[in-house]
Structures are given as structure tokens and as C-alpha cells.
Structure 1
Amino acid sequence: MAIIKANGVSIRYITGDFKDIGLKEYVVRRLQGKYQVKEFWADKNVTFALERGDMLGIIGTNGAGKSTLLKAVSGIMVPTKGNMEINGSVAALLELASGFDGELTVRENTYLRGAMLGYTRKFMDEKYDEIIAFAELKDFQERPFKQLSSGMKSRLAFSIACLVSPDILILDEVLSVGDGAFRKKSGNKMKEILASGVTGILVSHSISQVRELCNKILWLDHGAQIGFTDEVTLYCDAYEEFLQTRKLPHNRQDVEQLAEDFARRCEEEKHQKQMTQTQKLETLLESSDTEAAVAASLALLKEKRPELLRDANA
């Protein structure tokens, strides 16, 4: 049985109705014949299914419909068309600062967020020290939440969501919070969580992060589904090339071509970098006045780039 299943999910926003302009302005515009309603489809006929332990990476440029889709998965929004089947408890980190009270302490907010996720006081008592330790906030437990930096707030939100063992974990650009050490720790924690059978959805502009953590990919563009697949490397390569060329694929052949172009471009960039390094080394050798410097350079070439020495002797 699928843990998450989206069946032709489409989500529409309506702008210009009386909820936006107020009742008085609505009546005036209706009387004048100037009342207009505009529709905007954030997601259009999105379909995918995830099994236990899957990690889905949702990729796409800004405005692709990624965050809106996450809100449908987490139950915040109801699809305009289609339906979303969810089998399990959900912990969603969509807006990291939401659900916290700036006037309460870190300790109080930890229990508050836990309650919002549906966990008992007893359960939170057992997990509290672990949450604070992972968030690296041991010295800030009695400090008002509003005094924390944005990075600290993000670390706490991530720690609570990860350490309360949900069935489904939804992450929207949250593995990029904190310094390099915490990002590495967050990534390792995600791998540990997935190994335990939790199903995850990750939205991230870091394609390397998607490559490392995800076994399935959903590519969206302006609400439309470009592809849903377990061919992570192929689609990540194609997407990275799309970011350079803005050539949107329309079929499988286009995806493969983009991936080939990406591989070719990477190889050319690598070659160019190697040529630059070679030129620097040649300059060093030409300007060197001592045999020791020349010997050191040759030793470095022998270790790092032996093919250059072979070419020189040919």
C-alpha cells in the first residue's frame, strides 16, 4: 500500500474576489460592472505514489508549484481537483518559524510544537533532552524564542520534526539551515530516518542534496508535471542542464538529450580547469631558478597528472 498517493492533483488560487477586496468594495464593483475574478493554477494534474522508506525530491524553479503541493500533502490545503491519499502521521517543516510563540522560552516552544504534532507530554519528556542536544541549544533552553537567531530557530524546528518519529517527514528547504557542520549532521540524520522506514519529501534548490538523499524525483514547472521517476541521476542531470539553457523537455528523448549535454558540458569545464592548472604549472616551471623547485613540480606531476609526463616524452 502506498504511503502517499497523489491522483491528478490540481490546486487553484482565486484572486480578485471579495475576500481580497472587502465586502464594501465588492458591492461597489458589482454595481459598476467592474468585478472580476482571476484564476491561477499552482499545480496541474500532478500524479505520483510513494512507498514506505521512499525519499522524493521535488525539483523546479521558483513558481513551479512545489510548496503548494507540499501543503496539499500535509493537509493544509485541499486539492481543487483530484485527491491526495495519506496513510500515516505527517511532520511538515514548511515554514520553520510557524507554530512557535516568540514570547515563550525554547523549552516551552519545544513542548508546544510537539503538542501541535500530536505527541503526548510523556513522549516529549522522554525526547526533550535529545531534541535540545541535536539542535545544539542546551545553553538557550530558558531564553525567549524571539531572541534566537533564524538559524537556531530552524535547528530547533528540524530537531523536533526528526526526533519525534513521524511516518511521513516533509522538508521544504530546511536541510540548508545552520552552518556546514549542522547541515552535514542534518543530512546524516535524514539518512538514518529513511533507513528506519520513514517516507520523506524534500524540496531543495541544492541538486547535490537531492542526488544524495532521494531515490525518486518529481520535476515540476509552472505547476505542470515534467516527470516522476526513480531515475534520479538522469533527471537531475537533465534539470541542471535546463537551468543553464531553459530548454524544457517535452518527452523522454528530450530528457536524455539534456542529460547528455550536461555530461558534455561538465567534461568541457573539467578539461578547461585542468588546462588552467597546467598553464600555471608551466609558468612556475619556466620562472623557477632552482633544481629543487623543478624536481618538486615533476614529483607533483607524477603523482597527480602522470599522463602529462607521458605526453611530454612522446
Structure 2
Amino acid sequence: MKIKSLLFLISLVFFLSNVQGQDFDSKLEKLAEDTASKITENSKKKIAVWGFFEANGKQTALGNYITEDFSVYITNFGDDFEIIDRNHLDLLLKEHKLNAEGFIDNDTAKEIGKITAADAIITGTYSMVGADKVKVRVKVLDTESALQFAAKMGLLPLSEDLKDIANTSYDAGGTKTKGTTDNSNNCESDKGSLCFHNTTNEKMIVAVRYFKVADVKSRTMLTKTLILDAGKTKCLYELYDRRAEYYIVKFKTFTDDLEGVEVKITHPMYIKYLEDKGEIMVEACAEKTFTIK
């Protein structure tokens, strides 16, 4: 009797795990279907898949898994457009010596459009929710403007096999190891630095909106401005490892009135004056530099 009960429990665990795996696949497939629909509505014909990353911008084994499956699903739904998958895109990026890791910036998005003739780029992030769920966010960018024109989001359950993948670290060389990635400087902070380097011949103003507190549920953001002479670099320190927004405009646009400039730059009314805008992730224990070209 005990043996039968044990076999029943083992079978039940296997069944539930299999159902969760199927549920993950079906929900990821639905995200791809909805994304394909949005792409078709916007008359895009050639799509490049940049990939899915952790919310801090890191490439991971689970992110690669999501990228591969999402590419297959969206290809199946993309009757009206052509898909450039991540592997093919990697080869093109390396050939043109472009960075292929982490979040895509505006310049890279536009450059990919030129290199591949792609109309749009699919990218995304994911975050673990507890131990058995993952929140996946899909974004689609226009390669001409680098602006986002479509987005989808879903909460997907993880099977035991997928949990195993989620606990596998990954490096750019393709090596996979169980457990957490070793931090060589033993930094335990949840803060990092964000720098802006001005390579233009113009004096620039950069407005950065960042999270004031560590709580991921908080939407409290502060705005700081940096005024950069040509060829200069300035940084913001002790920022939490969260998404930050940047707005860049030529200094001469506001020469006559710099009062409240950080509010003006981030206001939709001034978008026509911007040289660039976008999102960038602050990484804990690291200093990330954005180059203004």
C-alpha cells in the first residue's frame, strides 16, 4: 500500500511539473502571437530578435531559453513578415563590431536597421516572481526612430526543469555553471554609477530620471541634470540598480533660461528638441557609461 502511495505521489509530481511546462510554453506562445499581431498592425515586414535579459540587463541561461523559444513562436505567427533570429543577428553584429550584450540603446537599434534592413527589433526583460514564476516583458522598437511602438507582458509558471535553468549562470563565452555568479570584488551593494561621455562638439544637457528608493514597487523617481562640455564626462553615483531614463538636448536650446530645465527636458512638449532619449539600467557594483555621439 505504501509503495502504491509513493508511486502515486511521484506520478502526481511528474504530471504537475509537465503541466506547468506546457503552461509556460502556451503562455509564451500567446505573448508571441499577440506581439506578431501588433507588428502586423504597424506594417512592419522584417523583424530582428535582440533577446530577453534579466531586469538588470544581464544575459542568462533562462533569458536565452526564452529568446530561442520566442523566436520560434513568432516565426510561426509571422506570415506577413520575415524574422532574423538571435543567432543570425549575433553574426551580423560581430561582423560590424557592435555590442551584442544587454539592453539595446538607440544608436544600436538604428544601426541594426541599417545593417539588416529590419523595420523593427524585438527585445525584452524578465524577472523572477517568487521561486516558481517569471514575469516576461516584450518590447518592439522601430529601427528608424528607436522608439517603442508595441509592448506585451505575461506571468509564466516554471516547471522543475525550467527552475533548474533559471538557477544556471551564464557567461558570454557560453559556459554554464550551477549556482550564483562569483563577484570578484565581493561587492554587496545594490547601487551603481551611471556616467555620460560627450563625444560631440556641442555642449549638452543630460537629464536623468532614476528611482529614489530601493523598493521595486515604488514609483518615486528623482531627476538630475548634468551639463557636459564637448569631450567631457560626468557621473551620477550611488544609484539603485534599477531602470533609469535619460534625456539629452543641446545646451544652446536652453541658454536663455536654465531654470527648471530638468522638468522642461522630460516634458513631452520638448520632445522635438531632444537629441536622444531612452532607458538604461544601473548595475549594482558597476559603473556604466553612455556615450553621446
TM-score of Structure 1 vs Structure 2, range by shorter chain: under 0.3
Higher share in strand: 2
Higher share in helix: 1
Q: Which has the higher contact order (CA 8 A, sep 6+)?
A: 1
